[in-house]
Amino acid sequence: MFDRGISSRRGVLLPGDPTNQLTFGTKDTSTIISLMDDYDKEMFSYLVKLNTILGRDYIDLNQYESVLDYLQRTNIENEYDYLNSLLHPERCKGLKIPSPIPVPSCAFQLHNTVTLTTNANGNLCFLFNPFYLYDKNILNQSVFKLTPNSGVEQTGLFNYCTSLFVNQSANLDGFTPNVGGWVPVNIGQGIPNVYNQYRLVSASLVVRYIGRMDITSGVIGGAIIYDESIYPGGLMTYTTEDQDYSFYNRPPGLFKYSNFDLAMDSFYHQERNCIQGLREIYFPLDNTYEEYQKMASPSDVKNLNQVVVASDGTSSGLPSVPVFIDTKKGFQKMVYVLGAPPNSACFKVDIYCNFETLPNAEFLNYMPISLSPKTISPEVKKQSIAYVQKQPITDLTEKTKWFGSTSKGLLEGLKNIFKSGIPKKILIEAATTFLPYYKPALSLFNIFSSSLQGNTNKSFASENQTPQAAVENAEMMQNN
């Protein structure tokens, strides 16, 4: 379904190789048709229609406009754009989710990079929620209340918000649950206050080994975790008694993932040698994952009692602190490392998230909004997601397939077959062979031909010397 038969066709006709150029005098129509797939035949049928319309003395502009509109849209559309955006988020900037009723929207990509260091045993772990996106102005609003051990309610500020949490604790061994040391890492998912709503189109997480090659060791594992407990946090500060204090704000459900068995027990799980790296891609779980959601704002912050750990590692009891709990959950990416080079900054993490957004009304005149041109069928959309689900976790040595081309329409298939153009003889003969809308006219031609065999003036034969002439005459009779 997704390959479109390009590889098999190119096995016969290598682009740019003149030795494989078809010689139309030696190749019959059936040979040419055998080189076409259904997509090529669909495009071919519209070329025949266009040829028929333009070959008449009277040109129907409505018919011409209809065919021309299809050809123009075909060069923009591609059955594989959505599939490629899921498989290759890194390469597919600005793509949107195909929708039968699109709304004017913007699209952009967030790319963040962070380097992680292992502990003394060569271990580390991190989790990432790709859905989170917040208004950067949230950092400038002193509306968050917290109650430290002093019992005096203070006003706190977020220094940054994030949905990436890393554990590099010295006690992290991979088998002990509830090990502390989870730290939110700032990956800059805050954007200016120009958007009102957003949805995630595609995302990927790529982990590369960048350490020494002569002392490589250990394994790297990845899993996709479905859990309601992982929501965004960050670094907060508050002032009391003329002193500034800071603490990490993170979901309490993180702590159980210091036991790597939770990742190994997941349905989607892979483990490789560290040097092979790891790559995880996102796919929507159901239709709700394609719904727009509001940008995170102060109204999404709730106060919960939890342990506050200051940036210097000291604990501050169980005060009431603000946390984000009203964000999209249920698709966390987890990566763990066991036995890698100790105390080494040997892993580079690249995060790619493609978002589709709806601008705030006051910025509509300044934002490049547009309707998505993609109109793939719901069935193709489901098949694309099902394909991605087969292997959402790979190592970096495995090449993820690229389907079709986002810059070329269906004409590319015909250009590989008819490199020097389509001869009119082939156009007509091939059209009468497989185009459904020619068959009624040809049947009518055969009926008239057989009924007029006794006609002495040969008028019917002289007026219908070719199938194309028969089609045109049949259409004229039908219109009259």
Name the more confident of 377 and 388. 388
State which of 22-31, 268-277, 321-330, 362-371 shows the largest mean pLDDT. 268-277
Looking at residue 456, what is its pLDDT?
45
- Cα→Cα distances 440→25, 30, 144, 216, 277, Å: 29, 21, 74, 71, 60
DSSP 102: -
Q: Is the pLDDT of residue 10 over 70?
A: no
* Kind of pairing between the strands at 144-146 and 134-135: unpaired
Is pLDDT above 70 for 99?
yes
**Residue range 384-390: average pLDDT?**
91
DSSP codes joined into one string, 409-443: -THHHHHHH-TT---HHHHHHHHHHH-GGGHHHHH
CA gap 334, 223 in Å, rounded:
5
Q: What is the pLDDT of residue 380?
A: 81
CB 403 within 8 A of CB 2: yes
Express each pLDDT in 448-458 by its tens digit.
444 444 444 45
Q: What is the DSSP string of 212-224?
A: -STT---EEEEEE
* Integer Cα distance of 76 and 12 in angstroms: 27
Task: Report domain extents, the chain.
Answer: 6-79+410-479, 92-374+383-394
User: Is the pLDDT confidence value at 65 over 60?
Assistant: yes
User: C-alpha distances in angstroms, 171 versus 120, 220, 259, 336, 444?
Assistant: 9, 18, 12, 14, 85
Q: Which among 279, 266, 401 has a CA at the least distance from the CA of 352? A: 279
Q: What is the CATH number of domain 92-374+383-394?
A: 2.60.120.20
* pLDDT value at 160 more than 90: no
Per-residue buried b or exposed e for 35-71, using 16+ beta carbons within 10 Å of the residue's own CB: bbeebbbebbbbbbbbbbbeeeeeeeeeeeeebeeeb
**Considering the entire predicted model, what is its pTM?**
0.69
- First CA to last CA across the chain, in angstroms? 43
CB atoms within 10 A of CB 237: 14
Question: Residue 4 contacts by C-beta under 8 Å, 6 or more apart in sequence?
Answer: 37, 39, 79, 80, 403, 404, 413
Closest among 410, 378, 351 to 109, alpha carbons compared: 351
Q: Of 9-23, 84-98, 437-451, 462-476, which range is least confident?
A: 9-23
Reported confidence tier of residue 25, pLDDT bands at 50, 70, 90 = very low
Q: State how far the Cα of 127 lies from the Cα of 146, in Å rounded to an integer.
A: 26
CB 352 within 8 A of CB 204: yes
The pLDDT, as a whole number, for residue 314 is 59
Q: What is the pLDDT of residue 9?
A: 34
How many whole angstroms from its chain centre is CA 456?
Answer: 67
DSSP state of 361: G
Among 79-83, 125-129, 237-241, 246-250, the range scoring the smallest mean pLDDT is 237-241
User: What is the distance between the alpha carbons of residues 418 and 231, in angstroms, rounded to a whole number?
Assistant: 55
pLDDT of residue 411: 64
